[in-house]
Each structure stands twice: as structure tokens, then as C-alpha cells.
Structure 1
Amino acid sequence: MLRFLRSPLLASIALSTLVPVAPVYAQTAPRPVQTAEDPWLYKGSDLVHDEAWKFGRLSNGLRYAVRKNGVPPGQVSVRVRIDAGSLMEQESERGFAHLLEHLSFRGSTFVPDGESKRIWQRLGVTFGSDSNASTTFTQTVYKLDLPTATPAGIDESFKILAGMMAAPAITQASLDAERPVVLAEAREQPGAQERMQDAMLGLMFAGQPLANRKPIGTTAALTGATPESVLAFHNRWYRPDRAVVIAIGDVDPATLEAMVQKHFGTWQGKGAAPKSPDFGKPVAEGNPVAASIVEPAVPPLAMMTIVRPWTVFSDTVIFNQKRMIDLVAIRIINRRLETRARSGGSFVGAGADLSDVGRSANITTVNVMPVGADWETALRDVRGVIADAQNAAPTQAEIDRELAEIRSSMQQRISTAPVESGMKLADDLVEAVDINETVTTPQASLDIFETAVKARMFTPATVQAAAKRVFEGTAVRALVNTHTPDPQLVTKVTAALASDAVGTVGKRKALGNVSFAQFPKLGAPGKVVSRTPVLPELEIEKVVFANGVNLLMRKDSSEVGKVYVNVRFGGGLNALPAQPSPGWAGEMALLASGIGKFGQEELDALIGNRQMGFDFDIAADAFRLGGQTNKADLPDQLRLFAAKLTAPAWDPNPITRAKTAVLSGYAGLDSSPDAVLGRDLEKLLHSGDPRWGIPERETIEATTPASFRKLWEPLLASGPIEVEVFGDMDSDATVQAVAATFGAMKPRAASTAPVPPITFPAHVDKPVVRTHSGKPDQAAAVIAWPTGAGSAGITESRKLEVLAAIFRDRMIDQLRSRAGVSYSPNVASQWPLGLSAGGKLIALGMVAPDKTDFFFTLAREIAADLVAKPVDADELNRALAPIKQTLLRQSSGNMFWMRLVEGGSYDPARISSVDTLARDVALTTPVEVQALAQKYLRPDRDWSMVVLPRPDAKAGG
């Protein structure tokens, strides 16, 4: 199926109205439905085959697919999918599929325990990102992205993966080592969110196995696991006839095919092949229709689901076309819901989605976040919007607006297909296999869509019928979360579902023709003062305009059809006051506040069928507007950004909506150690400076549309502007487009306000303590050392990344793999270029409350050892190789170079340091790593923190 169309998108544009004509549901593609086994993916499908993939099947039943792909250059991506997930487990085996995933990574008959990680590190693989695995309800997938794949490296990697599948080392020693890691992973799940998920699954899939078969399993089953019982699960489900190997990369596909045959061809299943369990079908009778929970840590929420039997049995053209009609209906409903939410309705946000889940059910889900606690009014109003869509056909203009956005997305996918990464293509194929779908070419996807449009399948009548169909099913169920107990809540939810939904929307607002011609005028194009190459070998140029605007640009067509635009203006965090302010709401509300006479509705209509982005964030030393576009839309992308700075609108609704949304989830900010760290850590590490971290509730409540505008209006109007345009564009045309937009603006005054100082907290003898209201078995520990900041220390900052990688690897080995104390310890180096201070090397881990001292002891022991002696050559290489390979892969994209030089027109050191990047990293020596440890990992300067459960925390959180 055309998976990227599943989730409804809210932004789109109105196009010309088509005359409604009765639909013709006809099979329009000439390709017959495939009945043969090979290529095996397309059995039962008439979709156009993606001929770039070569499909095959070994004599033992293993299926495979291989493909040539050079993005990123030199890399090979391998996925091994086993058709076994948590739904294949018996009651005594709950969690075994996931546990086996962990054990398989430790070692096999081919590789000693823990050695596969080290082998792959030497090949440049980053543990946890380039090598990973995941377990779902229906599958277990092993992932390897092998950078700079040499013949020897490919051969060794396939050998390791084949051993992991056929003969993992399931011993008492490996089980005793890995079981605590899995239990730690389960322990680290946020309690409130976990209970919310349990309630949703239990209601949505009531009467089906998926209702209580989470992949993480149960503590009882995991602690009861023995090598014999886990091996029995492995032998039952890990069989070549249940396996698919996908290999794609920058090598001859014949080489990849030979590797599959060589290493997986001798694998044989043990015992009789099992029959896949019955996942059941939704049944209304005897199952609940409503449920409620009381979770103050989760925003108030009403969720309605309509469940139907699983539907994806054959991925055909007509199946996709009919599903497209359903999705258009949902998109129109979502757009109407978003309009209501933006205008200050009874709900902060609401949206519907259509999905097939776990080969168990086809589900329409409606999520509603009410304003305050009044879920009944919010749910009633949302059901009213849905009823309106069912009772009255949409206009053809509404339909055409959605079709225009879908077409634009598909066309963009075609234009960028040559630079689609192998990782993405491999993951797409895994997903297709899991849910009985296929893959086809981007052009074939567009052809299916256009054939449906030509056959006039998208009419007011058919979309209205779809709006009815997607909200009908076997059962309608609803779950409500509140912050205060109500004994009658389930009764109220049941009554709400039983009540008639009345369409209450009334006459809909028609936007009419919206165009850039209606934007505020910018003035005459600016004059170019200078245009000079700053990095000739990379073809990066700097252009200075008479009004002081600087442009950094790079014409590079390696990423076909992609142009990245980044506009830096003002002072970023340096320009915000070091006191409570409405600065927190900028990223949520500034863009939605509008431009000129255009609000968010008009802006959506303006850019919906164009390849344009509209993002805003706050960097250390600049505010940033960003978006990905293409050559044709670049002038208007620049016009959009320039107009936001020159003619901002101040719609009050986005500020009110942002406040409501943040406050509704504020209680959740102390619901787990992780949540507390997200709220407080950065603020604490900046000595309480309110520019960092999440603001106090009082600050949010005190923010008004007037105070928001008072802060942000002068920030938008002042400070230097640097525009970066990198990608598949024409350089001369880009200069002209910038001249006509940012070059046409009036000169901007630089801020004269002093930059607030930044300080790292003083050393503490005992950790700073924060508490959480979540599970009593959860805690967090943090230790940090101050380092540096600014572009003068770029070389040192890069070598600190190497030190952090070594530190991190030791923490993972000792805290996770050996002690099983934490599932996700991490160490990172942060060196802000745009600030005068604030750099740090930080280590953190989620641990049990009685293990925080162990964490600090271990972290300080590692730090002391790094100070005392140089690392050995192999350890350094295992840290350096993944960093070097990551840089090599990233350097094939324009975004990498743009981020390296951004801010460089005002800080030339950032540009000059580009030439030293490779040697700064690659030539790092053990002596340099030790010297950095001695300089920064000083015990008299470290700062530590713990997040502990409050004494009143209850079991289960």
C-alpha cells in the first residue's frame, strides 16, 4: 500500500473545482494479479513491481531482497526480519521475543560474548544507531548499517548476523547478564504513559491477544526464563522459512545476494514448523465499550476507536484507490477539527487516523485533548464535526485541496527518489512484509493516484460515503483520562458514545484564492555589495547586500530536488532576558500568529501544495526560520520568511492554545525521572537561568497575547540576518531571490543590550536532589563537568567528542552489559559555539534508587582512569571509527555543510574550521584524549544530581 499517505496531513491548498461526476470503480492498471511465488513480495498484487529490487528464495525457505543504492555512499544496510513477535508467545513466555533479541546481539557460536559489538565498532558502526534491533507484536527485526562496507567487512557482518539467527549463545551466563538489562528497560518505562498504553490496548483490542501482549513482557515470565525455555522459543520461531533478509547498498547486488546464499543457505529449522497463532477478530459482544483512567501526569484525553477486522490481504490497485478515498475523507475532517481548535473551541487539538494494527484489526482512532477537564463537551463537539461530514457532502473545492497536497507530496517523492537513503528503503520493505503489503515505484504510486482522479473517484458523494464508512465497524469504544477520580466516569463515557452526534459546524469558511501576491510588499530588490567564495573546494559563496544581510550559499545537485533554507536573525538565547518571560512560547506560537492579514488557515492554504517548510527554533546565538524546498519554490520560500520578519501578525489564539496545551500536561513533568530531567536539568546546569528548561507554571500562566507581542515584536525586527541556501538550485537566481526579499528589507539595528552571563553550577559534595511522583523503583543519576564554548575552541570541542565516545562505551559496557544496572546510560559532550560559556561533558543513567551511588562511583572511576593513563590503540580506534564514518556519511548531504558554516558570515572561525574537521577528529591521539581528561574531568569541578521517587510514590507509579 502507499504507506506515506496513511496519516492525514493538515496543511494543504485549494485548487480549481472539478465538476462532480459519478465515480467509476474500475481496475485501471493493466498488470494482472501475481499468482506465482516469485518475486515473492508481489503474490496477490497487481501493483507495478519495483524492478530495482531483486527478490529471491533459498532452498531452506528463506526469502531475500537485494538492491543497489549509493545513499549514503559506501554504505550497506542489512535487515533481518523474523516473523515472530510478542503475539507468538505463550503466557509463560511473555517477553521472550524481546529477550531473545537482546541475547542474539550478545554473541553466537561464531562470535564470543560481546565481541560482535567490538567488531562492528572497528568497522565504523555506532552501537545503538547503526546496529540495533526492535521487537513488535508481530516481528523481530535486526538492523545493521555498515559504513564504508569493504568485501571483508560485509562478509564478516553477514557471518555474525547469520550466527545470531541460527545459533545464538543462549547460556546461563548470557541470560544472567542480559536479563537485568531487559528488566531495567521495563523499569525505565514512564509509569503513567505505560498505564495509559495498557488501558488503550486493553480496550481497543478487547477479546484479542494483542490486548495484553506488550513486547516488553512480564517480570514473572522474564525472571522465570531459563536457557532451555528461551532456546525452545528460539527453535520454534527462528526458522529460515520465517525469515526475510534485506540488503541494500553501494555494492553490486550480486555480491549481496552471494552473501545471503553463503551465510544463510545452510540454516535449517529445528523440529516441525509451527502454525502462526490466530490473532482473532474484533468482537463487540461481551467486551467493554468504555474505560477510564485517572492519570494526572497525562493530559486530559478522550479517545474514541472504531474497530473492524484486519483488511490487508491483497495489496492491489483498487484497494489503494479505495483507501485513498477514505484518507481524503479523514483529511477533510481533520482540517475542520484543526480550524475549530485554532479558533478557540472546546478542545486544544483533535484528529482522526485510519490504520491497520498488528495484523489484528483495522481501526479508526479519534484523539481529543479538551480545554481543561471538560472532555464531554470536547468529545461532543468533535463528534459533531464528524457527523457534519457524514450528513453533508464536502465541496469539490475541499476535496481538490486535499488532492493537490497529496499530488505535491507524491511529485516531490519522485523528484527526490534518486537520493532516497538505503536505510529508508530497507525499513519500508520490512514494514511492507510485516503487514502484507508491497512496495512500488514513486511514479507508479502517482499513476495509481492520477488514474483514480481521472476516473473521478473523488467526488463529494464518494468522500461523504467514506466519511460514513470509516466511522462504522464491529464496535465503537472510548477511553477517557481525567485528573480527578469520578466513580461514574465509565457510565458517562458509555452514555456519551450512545448519544446522537449532531452536526454543529454550520456554514464553513471559504478561504477563496490565496496567493503570495497578497503578501505585504518588501520594496525594491537590494544591491549586492560583494560576492566571494569562502570555501572554493566546496563551492560555498558569501554574498553581502547593501542593507547588511549576508547570504551563504552552495549549489550542489547531489541531493536531487532538495534545497535547504535557513534564516538566522537576531541573537537567539543571547537576546532573551535572563528572567521569566514569554520566550518559552516562541517555538509553539510565533509562526501560527500569522503574517500580515493572513492567519494560519490562509498560510496552510498558501503553501499546502508547494514544497515549502515553515519552522522556527531558537539557537544559542540566533533565532532560526527553516524549511526544505525546491528550485521552483525557493523564491516564495524566501518571501514567506522575509514577510514573517517584516509584517508579523499577532493572532492571540495561538498563544492561548499554547498555554492550554502546556498547562494540561504540566503535572506530567514530575511523573518520572526522565520527565524531571527534561524539566529541570538544563536550567540547573545553567545556575537557574530561566532561558533554559521548562518555565515555572506561574510564568506560563502569566503569559498573555500582549506580553508575548511585547517581547517578540522587537526581536523579530532587530539584529543581523544571515540567509543560508544550500542544494539543488541556481546560484544567480538564488542571489536575485534573496535580493528581492531579504535584500529589500530596511537595514536592521543591532541590539545594544548586554548579553546575560552564563555560569556552570559550582561543585557539590552531595548530589542535588529532585523528586518524582512516578514508580518507586525508578531514579536517575547525572554527573557533569564544565568544558568550554565558542568558535575559538572548535578543534578542542571535536576531540572532546572522542573522549565522550570512549567514556560512553565504558559506561555501556560496565553499567549495562556487565552490571545490568541501566538500560540506557549515555555520555555526551556539548560545546555551544554561539555562547561565551555553558559547555559540558555529561553522563547520565536511569537506575534503581539504590544504585545511584554505584552510578557515581563508576562514573568517577572511569573519569579517574581516563585522567591517569592513555587509552589503548584498539579502544581509541573503536571510538574514532564510528565518528569518522558518521562524518563521512553526513558529509554527502548539504544540510551537514550548512550546519557547519551557519553563523560564519559573522564569525569567520566557523568557516575556516571546516578545513580542519577531518584531521581534528582522525588525528586524535591517546595523549590528547588523556590531556583533555586531565583538563576537564576534575573531581573538584564536577556537579551531580539525582532524581528519586517521593516517599508517597505507589507501586507501579
Structure 2
Amino acid sequence: MALFPRVRPLALPLLLFAAALPALGQSTPPTPATEAAPTVAIDKTPWLYKGSDIAHDPEWRFGTLPNGLRYAVRKNGVPPGQVAVRLRMDVGSLMEQESEKGFAHLLEHLSFRGSSKIPDGESKRVWQRLGVTFGSDSNASTTPLSTTYKLDLPDAKESSLDQSLFILADMMAAPAITPAMLAAERPVVLAEQRERLRPEVRFEEAQRQLLFAGQRFAERPVIGTVETLNGATADSVKAFHQRWYRPERATLIIVGDLDPDLFERLIVKNFAGWKGEGPNPETPDFGKPDPTKPKSAAIVEPTLPPVVSMAVLRPWTVFEDTVKFNQERMVDFVAMRIINRRLERRARAGSSYIGASADLSDAVRSANITSIQVLPLGEDWETAVKDVRAVIADALANAPTQVEIDREVTEIDAQMRNSIATAPVTAGTRRADNLVEAIDINEVVTSEQTSYDILKGAIDKKMFTPDRVLASTRRVLQGTATRAIVTTRAPDANIQTKLAAVLEADVSSLAGTRAATRNVTFDSLPKLGTPGKVASRAIAVADPQIEQVRFSNGVTGLFFRNEGEVGRVYVSVRFGRGMQALPSNRQTPAWAANLALLASGIGDLGQEEIDQLTGDRQISMEFGIGDDAFVLGGQTSPDDLSDQLRLLAAKLAAPGWDPKPVARARAIAISGHAAQSATPDAVIARDLERLLRDGDPRWGIPDLKDIEKLNAKDFRAFWEPLLATGPIEVQVFGDIDIEKAIEAVRTSFGAMKPRRASRIVSAAVRFPDHVETPVVLRHTGQPDQAAAVIAWQAGGGAVDIGEGRKLEILAAVMRDRILDRIRSGEGVSYSPTVISQWPVGQPGGGRIIGLTLLPPDKTDLFISVAREIAADLIAKPIEFDELRRAIVPTAQMVSRRATGNPFWMQQTEGGTLDPRRLAAIPSIGTDYVQTTPQELQALAVKYLGPDKDWTMVVLPEAKK
């Protein structure tokens, strides 16, 4: 594959840093044998394509070792230097016996702890020294079908990849399943299970049990049960491992920036000697949808809005992935897209439901499902279901128009063509994950061009006609079994009778008329005015070269040509003052912007017309509120850049004020309000940002009474002047021609009228005072769930950006220590973390935060452990090995991100108004890797003092 030039990685002197470390005197983990890989006969048949007539993607190289292990390897240089490893074991919860529920997932945890040749926890430390971040670069996941171990190895070399495969091979063949290991890890898995118990998960569990009644999937939750996990013994887990962890059930996928010949050689060296014990067991029969099982169910969840989920199930039949199968499935998807567009159009116009959608999927080799989800407006779910059924009934009775079909096919065509254009810069991690997903559903992967050829073949065969789409609609809405489940806030003894009645009700009179779509083009957008002139040009950053342009109307631009992301262009438009333009003494409609501002339209064009403009183009529109600016953005292509800019400029120059999206935003917020107190993490999401700013209402989620006050008049009165004022900075980064990009900005934003200055209303951000005892909040969820937070004030702004970068290293050290103590040592939490935030646009707004979910009686433990760690960091410098295990992953993460455009957009945003941000770019590398133990100690002294922290706990509501 031709490699496109990319931004070269940051010059992070990691090797110099490592060489400066003294001899650490620690035990050295076992390393792979140095002898050459054994000579074995490899079957090079492309096993993935067995039974398929889809063209083999030549970039993939396949093989099967004599012991049965399959592999797939591929060269990929995105990001440079990285190698993605995925080891998929064909064992998931569907392979478990009744007494083994949760064992596949439990075994995933135990495998990561240690193995016959790797001491407990040492694999994490080895990989940290190689630049791997625990939890993101090294992780695993268990599904009903499989368990996949994931490793993204930065700056990979033969030696580091060899060592990593050696560790993975020993994890698979000989994990340390001892009573001591099981006793240490079982509480972590139980903590993960406890943290998952939230209303949405309970609804999903009830839905799974209903839909798949009579099948294995209905009774096999991946996480297991408290009874089976507590009943697990070292011997029973060993027996499960011996039965299922075999090379015949393993698939190793390696994608990265090294030679595939090397991948194959190291696979043979580390995995060819793996032998299974006893016979390879047959995969259980997962069953088929059973029409004799109950058709409906209802659950009560006081904090969830009413939700109705309907489904039609058919037996799973994806036994061979062929061209014909894919073309027929494309017709099915067009049918679903048409239904979804009609459902969304009706919701936008003001309906009995806030949202509804239809989906077609294959579920864990157990069923092919057409599902329909309905979120009512308010509590009247019966009317909402009838209205949705009316749309479905119309689709079943009457063929769609060719115009409707062509719109969907054209959008699919555009998406596939964009995939072809951007294929050379698809990340190796994505390639590897795609292959894992394909194996899970018994499908193949192929090149983007071949996928597009399959679509074009379907078009040439005239498969996308009204009659064929109607036949597809009828086919996917019929099946072996039909199910429906409803959740309500309060018990209702007649709920299932009502549900059955709604599903059988005559809805023929509710269908209404199909709305005609107004034909619009980009010329339908409001006019912007006469393009201005380029007032000045200069190089803002020398390496990488980023150019700054000022236009005659005061608009400024930053332009960066980076062909490394071929076919992708990122646009960010910063204007006004963001959070600093909002009052800090009262609640405003700012919270509703993400739900309503973009959907309110442009000029006289509503969201439906904007969708029509952009649907078959690589044009998007997003909105956010930053610390010091409002942000409009989008990702586009080189060909669509000009119109992307026109669309964003028109949104600022002539915003529409359709009242319907405001009403919908209010309904969505009201519907979900109760859920914000349902779990500890929901309470944190609702309140923490506001509390960490001493109650500032600009952050956090408003009270229900403030949500209910939202109306279109006040929304417009608040946002209209904010959209019209304040300086504009446009960033255009990516696969661009600089001159054409400057011209596109000149004729769009450069054509706008000069803008009035914007006023900073609230510049200051207050950190809460130290508290002797934690602030206590309450949640309405499970009595065994709680959360704890500890935070210290840090800095912010552009003056000391370097200090903010070094605080990331300090946070990494704290995070690793808390993981070791709270998760691995105490086993009371699955997900403790520490993060550092240094807002460049908000002086004084930074903080270091430690938080976790855990049992209510362990909140004091977390806070005391965090304070002990802080005190130790103040008292003495850390050891060099611990420093290295913090710096190298952090620096490698920065280095990898620096190969993409979003990283440089983040570093330079606001730089035309505050040049200090641009001046801080050359020191990025040294700020991270030249951090010393003494500097971290000094930062700990400065920020982590015992009289400087603020603490909070979220506990269950007190029993009445």
C-alpha cells in the first residue's frame, strides 16, 4: 500500500531519556528466547474468505499454524510506528455452562494479572516502559461470542513486539489461575458488575431475556452473576480455561508499521508451540427464535422515561458472506433508512414521540432482528407507538418513491466514495478491530473499492426500485417471533394488556400524508456579501508549518496542509467569548444549544432542507461552547471544503429560529431529568463540573424548573446576539491546497460584515474552598453503589502551558498508584482514575481530579488513599522507573496524536488572538520528556497540599 506523507512525529527524545536512567536494580521480567522461529508448515489459504465470492483484499495476509491458530497480518503506517495486536479467542459467555456464568470474562481479568512466566502485574509495567497506556493501549473485552485481547504498541520494534507476543502467548496458554490470584481479582469483577447496575442496563437485560427467550443468549450475561462468580474456584476456572483456551480457537491479528514477514515470523516463534489439552469442544447450539415464548414484557424504572422496544426476529443465517447476500442486504438497509427518515421528519414536525428509529442487525449468531425503538413525548407511550406503527404500516402497504430511494442510495454512494478516498489513512487499530468484528458475525472484510463495486453492481442490476424496496420492507418486518417491551415509571397491573392492544390497534387513519421535500441547493443559502481581501499573511508556526491570515473584515484564519490524512479536512470556527460571555449569577438557555441551535436552521431553511444539502456530501456541522469561544465545526473533504465553509458562515450570518427544535430539546431534557439522579456517576455528570467551579451555573445541568421554562422566544433572545458578535477565527487543517483554502475562507467568512466586539461577562472561575469533610450528594439508585471525588486546584491559561503538561505526568503517576491500591490491592473499584485539566482559555480554571465508583462504606478509603499518595509525592521524589512508566506512555500518546490534524487544531486554537499559545508549541516535546522527579515533587508541593483539596461523595438516599 502506498504510504502518504504525514506530519512527522514530535521530536520527543525518549531514547535519550531512557538512556539517562540509572540501573534500577529491579527484577527483570522473562524475555523471549533468542533462537530463531521454528520451521513449521503454514497453510496460507485465506481462511476468512472460505465460502465467499467476495474479492480477497490483497493487503491482508492470512495463515494457519499446524496447531490450528489462525492469523491475519497487514502493513499499515497509521499512526507511524504503531503496531496493533488483537488476539481473539473464540470463547464468550455463550460457551459457559450454568455454573460458569461470567467465567469467560473472569478469565480475561486473570489472564492480564499474570501467567506462568510473568509475575502478577508485571505485564502492565513492561508495556508501560514500552509506551503503552493501561486501559487504552492495553485492554480486553468479552462478548457473548468471543474474548479479544488488545494491544496498541507505539514506536514498535522487533524486540518490543517479540516481547509483547511472548507475554500474550503465555497469558493464553498458562494464566496464573491460583486461589490467591482468584481471591485478588474476583472483587474487581464484582465491582465492575456493581458499577454496571444502572436503569439502562436493567432495561437492556430485560429486553435480552424477552427477545431471546428459549435461546442461550437470554440466560448468559457476559458479566455473570454474583452467585456464579462467588462460586468460582481456581480448579473450576482452570477447567474452563483448559476446555476453551486452545490454539484452534485463537485468531491473532497484527496490523502496523513493520514488515508483515516479521509479523509472521514472530507469530510462529511465540505461538507455534502452544498445544491444547484434550479434544477441541464443539461450540454449543445457540438456538433459534422461539415463537412459543412470551411476546411482551414490562418493567418499572422510575428514573427512566417510558420507552417501547419492538422487534421481529428471524433465525440467524449468515453462513456464507457473498456478493449476492451483501447486495440484498443493501436493499434492506435502504428500506430501513427510508423508514427512519420518515420517522425523524415526523418527530421534527412535532409529534407524540421525541424520537423513534428502526434497525436491522444480526445478534451474536442467534437471530436476525428488525428492531424499533420509541421514546414518547411525556408519559403517553400508547399514542407514540400508534403513530410510529402508522409510519411502519404505510411503508408496508405502499412502495416508496424512486426519489426517496435515490436519495438514500446517493448518500450511501457518497459515504463509500469517501471511504475509498480516505482508505490510505485508516488507522491500523480500526483495520484490526474491523476484522475482529467480521469474524464475530461470520462475514469478511474487503477493500473499500471492492465494497463500492458491490454497491455499483446492485445499482447496475436495478435492485433499488420501488417494488424491490417494498418487498424488502415486508420481508424484514416479518419473522419467526415478534416481541415488545415497555418500561414505565410507575407500576401498572394492566400494562401488558395495554401493550398488546396498542400493537394490535388499527392505525390506518394515523398515517397522514408523506411530506413533499423542497428542492434546495447551496444557492438557496442566504447570501453573505462581497468577499473581502487578504490583509496579511505570516507563518504562525514553523514546525509544522501553519500559516496565519488576516482578512479585511477582521476574520483571522489558521491553515495547515497535512496530506497525511488524505481526503480529510477539518474546519473549526471560533467566535465570541464562549463561557466567558455567559453570566455566572443566573441560569441561561445556554444548556440547550447542543440540542436546538443547529437544528433551528439557516435563514428559511429548516433541518430537513439542510440534511438534503449535505446528505450526499462530506459536510457536517457541530457546535460547542469552549472556555473562551463558541465553536462551530465540521469534517469535510477537499472537494466539499468551499461549501462546508459557506454553510458554517451562513449559520452565523443568518441563523434560523425554528421553534420546534427548542420544544424538542425541552422535551428531551425533561424526559431524561430523573435519570440524572439514578446512579452515582449520573449525579457526578450532572453536578461535578458546577461544584468544582464553586456552584457557577454556567456549568452543569439546570434544575427541572429551569428546563421547563425554556421557550423559543427566550432561546432566540439569548443566542441571537451571541451569534452576531465577537471575533472569528477559522482553522482549516488537513488535505488542502493552502491557496484554495484561503480563497474559500475569503469568499465565505471573509464576505461577512465586520462584527461588533463581544463583551467578557464572567472572566473568573472559582475553585471551591477546602472542606474538612466531603460534600455529600445523594442518588436514587442501588444501595450498594457510591462514588468518591477528590480534587486540587491547578492553573490555567497560556502563561504556564508547560506546567500544565508536566501535571499530566504527575496525574499519570497518581493514577497508576491509585489503580494499584484501590483496584488491584483492595478490589473495591473497577475504574478509579486521576486526570489533570489545564484550560488554556481559562486562567485559574485547572484542576487535578481523582474519582471512582465504589461501595458506600469505602468512600473514606478512596479519599484517604488519595491523600496518602499526595502526601508521599510531596515528601519525596519518585523513583526513576516509576517516572519512566508515566512519561513514556504519556509522551507516546502525545506523539501519536501529533500525527493527526485535531491535535494541532487543539494546540493552535485561539492563537490568532493570544499568540502565547502559538509560542508554546515548540516546547511540547521537551515539556513532557524532560520532566524530572524533582519537578514532580515541586508540583506536588505547589498543588497537592492537605489544606488544598476538595472532596465529595455520592451516597444512596437514606432509608426512610
- TM interval, shorter chain, is over 0.9
- d(CA) in 2 for partners of 1:233, 1:503: 57
- d(CA) in 2 for partners of 1:890, 1:754: 34
The SS at the match of 1:686 is: coil
In structure 1, what is the equivalent of residue 467 of structure 2? 461
In structure 1, what is the equivalent of residue 230 of structure 2? 223
State whether structure 2 residue 569 is matched by structure 1 residue 547.
no
- d(CA) in 1 for partners of 2:948, 2:209: 50
Structure 2: which amino acid aligns with 1:110?
Answer: K
In structure 2, what is the equivalent of residue 675 of structure 1? 682
Answer whether contact 2:44 2:63 (CA < 8 A) is retained: no
Match of 1:562 among 557, 564, 568: 568
In structure 2, what is the equivalent of residue 813 of structure 1? 820
In structure 2, what is the equivalent of residue 490 of structure 1? 496
Q: Structure 2: where are the runs of 5+ without partners?
A: 1-42
In structure 1, what is the equivalent of residue 902 of structure 2? 895
- d(CA) in 1 for partners of 2:44, 2:919: 58
Aligned runs of 1:526-675 on 2, under 5 Å?
526-578=532-584, 579-675=586-682
In structure 2, what is the equivalent of residue 157 of structure 1? 164
- d(CA) in 1 for partners of 2:779, 2:327: 49
In structure 1, what is the equivalent of residue 265 of structure 2? 258
- d(CA) in 1 for partners of 2:540, 2:624: 26
The SS at the match of 2:634 is: strand
1:315-340 Cα distance to aligned partner (Å, 9 max, x none): 00000000011100000000000000
- d(CA) in 2 for partners of 1:682, 1:476: 44
Match of 2:794 among 784, 787, 794: 787
Structure 2: which amino acid aligns with 1:396?
Answer: Q
In structure 2, what is the equivalent of residue 403 of structure 1? 409
Answer whether contact 2:577 2:760 (CA < 8 A) is retained: no
State whether structure 2 residue 114 is matched by structure 1 residue 102.
no
Answer whether contact 1:391 1:503 (CA < 8 A) is retained: no
Match of 2:428 among 422, 430, 438: 422
State whether structure 2 residue 767 is matched by structure 1 residue 750.
no
- d(CA) in 1 for partners of 2:515, 2:125: 61
* CA shift for structure 1 position 931: 0.1
The SS at the match of 2:262 is: helix
1:201-257 Cα distance to aligned partner (Å, 9 max, x none): 011101111112111001111111111000000000001001100011000001001
Match of 1:306 among 302, 312, 323: 312
CA spacing shift, 1:273–1:551, aligned 2, 3 Å: same
Q: Structure 1: where are the runs of 5+ without partners?
A: 1-35
In structure 2, what is the equivalent of residue 22 of structure 1? none
Answer whether contact 1:88 1:277 (CA < 8 A) is retained: yes
Answer whether contact 2:561 2:734 (CA < 8 A) is retained: yes
Across the two proteins, how many residue pairs are aligned to each other?
917
* CA shift for structure 1 position 845: 1.1
The SS at the match of 1:792 is: coil
- d(CA) in 2 for partners of 1:737, 1:811: 50
In structure 2, what is the equivalent of residue 187 of structure 1? 194
In structure 1, what is the equivalent of residue 929 of structure 2? 922
1:56-85 Cα distance to aligned partner (Å, 9 max, x none): 000001100011000010011100001100
* CA shift for structure 1 position 510: 2.2
The SS at the match of 2:196 is: coil
- d(CA) in 2 for partners of 1:641, 1:789: 30
In structure 2, what is the equivalent of residue 910 of structure 1? 917
- d(CA) in 2 for partners of 1:360, 1:125: 36
Structure 2: which amino acid aligns with 1:453?
Answer: I
1:163-186 Cα distance to aligned partner (Å, 9 max, x none): 011110111111111000000001
Please identify, of 512-521 and 306-315, the stretch whose mean Cα deviation from structure 2 is larger: 512-521
- d(CA) in 2 for partners of 1:529, 1:906: 16
Structure 1: which amino acid aligns with 2:286?
Answer: F
State whether structure 2 residue 882 is matched by structure 1 residue 868.
no
Structure 1: which amino acid aligns with 2:208?
Answer: L
- d(CA) in 2 for partners of 1:407, 1:886: 35
- d(CA) in 2 for partners of 1:207, 1:394: 36
- d(CA) in 2 for partners of 1:827, 1:651: 42
Answer whether contact 1:203 1:288 (CA < 8 A) is retained: yes
Answer whether contact 2:589 2:715 (CA < 8 A) is retained: yes
- d(CA) in 1 for partners of 2:278, 2:688: 53
In structure 2, what is the equivalent of residue 774 of structure 1? 781
In structure 2, what is the equivalent of residue 322 of structure 1? 328
* CA shift for structure 1 position 756: 4.6
* CA shift for structure 1 position 197: 1.3
In structure 1, what is the equivalent of residue 392 of structure 2? 386
* CA shift for structure 1 position 665: 1.1
- d(CA) in 2 for partners of 1:328, 1:653: 27
Match of 1:359 among 365, 384, 396: 365
- d(CA) in 1 for partners of 2:663, 2:201: 29
Structure 2: which amino acid aligns with 1:398?
Answer: E
- d(CA) in 1 for partners of 2:576, 2:113: 50
State whether structure 2 residue 83 is matched by structure 1 residue 76.
yes
CA spacing shift, 1:57–1:712, aligned 2, 3 Å: same
Structure 1: which amino acid aligns with 2:599?
Answer: A
* CA shift for structure 1 position 509: 2.2
Answer whether contact 2:421 2:566 (CA < 8 A) is retained: yes
* CA shift for structure 1 position 495: 2.1
- d(CA) in 1 for partners of 2:158, 2:509: 64
* CA shift for structure 1 position 910: 0.8
The SS at the match of 2:895 is: helix
In structure 1, what is the equivalent of residue 20 of structure 2? none
State TM-score, norm by structure 2. 0.95
- d(CA) in 1 for partners of 2:513, 2:871: 71
In structure 1, what is the equivalent of residue 124 of structure 2? 117
State whether structure 2 residue 339 is matched by structure 1 residue 333.
yes
Answer whether contact 2:339 2:395 (CA < 8 A) is retained: yes
* CA shift for structure 1 position 555: 1.2
- d(CA) in 1 for partners of 2:959, 2:479: 44
- d(CA) in 1 for partners of 2:92, 2:418: 35
In structure 1, what is the equivalent of residue 284 of structure 2? 277
- d(CA) in 2 for partners of 1:947, 1:223: 27
Answer whether contact 1:587 1:618 (CA < 8 A) is retained: no
Structure 2: which amino acid aligns with 1:951?
Answer: A
State TM-score, norm by structure 1. 0.95
Match of 1:941 among 948, 953, 960: 948
Match of 2:486 among 480, 483, 502: 480
Structure 1: which amino acid aligns with 2:784?
Answer: D
* CA shift for structure 1 position 778: 0.5
* CA shift for structure 1 position 400: 0.3
State whether structure 2 residue 175 is matched by structure 1 residue 168.
yes
Answer whether contact 2:518 2:609 (CA < 8 A) is retained: no
* CA shift for structure 1 position 506: 3.4
Match of 1:516 among 522, 526, 551: 522
Aligned runs of 1:786-865 on 2, under 5 Å?
786-865=793-872
CA spacing shift, 1:68–1:766, aligned 2, 3 Å: same
Answer whether contact 1:387 1:503 (CA < 8 A) is retained: no
- d(CA) in 1 for partners of 2:720, 2:447: 47
Aligned runs of 1:714-753 on 2, under 5 Å?
714-753=721-760
* CA shift for structure 1 position 498: 2.7
The SS at the match of 1:538 is: coil
Structure 2: which amino acid aligns with 1:846?
Answer: L
Answer whether contact 1:566 1:624 (CA < 8 A) is retained: yes
- d(CA) in 2 for partners of 1:101, 1:258: 26
The SS at the match of 1:791 is: coil
Answer whether contact 1:198 1:212 (CA < 8 A) is retained: no
Match of 2:454 among 448, 453, 458: 448
